[in-house]
Amino acid sequence: MRAADPADFTPRKLLSPVALADEEARAHLRLVRSRGAFVRISRSPLPHETILIDRRVMILAGQETPTGREYTVTTSQILVDGVHSLFRAIWDAAVDLEIYLRSDVPQLDAEGRMILKALGPGLTDESAAKRLGVSLRTYRRRVVELMAELEADSRFQAGLRAGELGLPH
């Protein structure tokens, strides 16, 4: 559906932190945000996907199941107004996506920053361990710990995530 005047319409997405579980979801939300939507993260549990259209129509989407999703659509003004009021209260207490992501930045110690810096030029594990003066086993263990801290599935993704978070290295 389109608004009569796009300047009068700003989509708002309100999500729980679960929506940021993987990098693909984070990238999608950044894309949505770059296209003009407001995106906020709420610490309140949000059990259903709720869509409000022009404060006249509400769509509630149930959880995904093996047989699909159940949807409830209503134009009942009492229900729409009630859910809109709840939405506004949660929205006002929620945090902007970028602020939430910045506050979720891991604090790397000096060794963690050194490991991150060693990942950049693409050195072999042996060369990086030697350069840092640690054993190969210690270097690899620290790389795994760094990837876990950055919620990355690969070394490349760890580098991207570190850059995205503005981590010093």
Section 63-70 average pLDDT: 88
3-state secondary structure of 41: strand
CB 148 within 8 A of CB 95: no
pLDDT at 4 over 50: no
Tell me the whole-structure pTM to 2 decimals: 0.56
94-150 pLDDT, tens digit per residue, is 999 888 877 766 777 788 888 888 887 878 899 999 999 999 999 999 999 888 888
Q: How confident is the model at residue 83 (pLDDT cuts 50, 70, 90)?
A: very high
Q: Residue 3: what pLDDT?
A: 45
Name residues whose C-beta falls within 8 Å of residue 149's C-beta, 6 or more positions apart in sequence.
106, 108, 112
CB 33 within 8 A of CB 44: no
CA angle, corner 133, sides to 137 and 169, nearest 5?
95
